[in-house]
Structure 1
Amino acid sequence: MSLRQEHEIHTRRKGRNVGVGLMLAGFVVLVLALTFTKVTSGDFELPKAEELR
């Protein structure tokens, strides 16, 4: 029982998947950083119940 060599198309797909995964992780980090910055700034306030009407 020998291991087969990985086909060339799988190598390219793996590289593309790693790239897409890194871009997705970067986007998530960016959104979290922007959210953290917005929440920790002094001008952030939750809307009051009276203003929701």
Structure 2
Amino acid sequence: MDRRRWDIDDRFTGVCDATAMLPAVHRLGEAMASDGWVTENPEVHLLPHTATWCA
């Protein structure tokens, strides 16, 4: 299996860790554990906000 992550990858690994994101990830995990987190139509209610945030 090719270890490259894209066609010109010659490092085969990232350049740093993501510890700076841990507080936000933990908050997301706490929110996901709360009752009522899962919406009836996530693609309608959550996806647009998530896509905007990721962009």
TM-score class normalised by the smaller sequence:
0.3 to 0.5
- Please say which structure displays the higher CA radius of gyration: 1
Structure 1 length-normalised TM: 0.36
Q: Give TM-score, length-normalised by structure 2.
A: 0.35
